[in-house]
Amino acid sequence: KAEEEAARKKAEEEAAAAKKAAEKVAGADAGAGSKMSRDAPTVKTESGATRVSVHCDETKLGELVALIGAAPALGSWEGAKALKMSTSAETYPNWSVEVPPLAAGTEYKFVIVGDGGNVRWEPVEGNRRWPGGGSVLAKYGQP
């Protein structure tokens, strides 16, 4: 029971810190890498937006997960403009965000953004490729 309470408290602290870190995101180099195809299953949403969910338990207090990519909606590979994802005490370590429609094949990656705005790129060779709508389910660091 003590472990559950500690895990819940950690998740609550992470969610609060993620909110704070979102205000401090600084620029970063793109490091786009090679162009490897990484497709994910999709489900169409009513709004046309894509629901992106990623399992990432590599964040520390004060960090958040963001989506970065070639499209302006994903920050055009600029760390300060990356699309911040959110989590909560109930959903951690799962992070999510709704993304406006993007062209199929748009390149993107997940990044971890630190409290000072430093960006840690997902350790996946090459870039992921946008599936073209619906929902994206992924695990950080795995193609």
Dihedral sign from CA coordinates of 81, 87, 92, 98: negative
Task: Set out the domains of the chain in order of their start, with CATH numbers.
Answer: 2-139 (2.60.40.10)
Q: Nearest-CA neighbor of 89 among 26, 32, 28, 5?
A: 5
Is pTM, for the whole model, over 0.75? no
Q: What are phi and psi of 123, to 5 degrees?
A: -80, 60
Q: Nearest-CA neighbor of 96 among 62, 134, 136, 69?
A: 136
42 or 81, which is more confident? 81
pLDDT digits (tens, 9 = 90+) for 13-66: 655 554 444 333 333 333 333 222 334 334 445 567 888 999 999 999 899 999
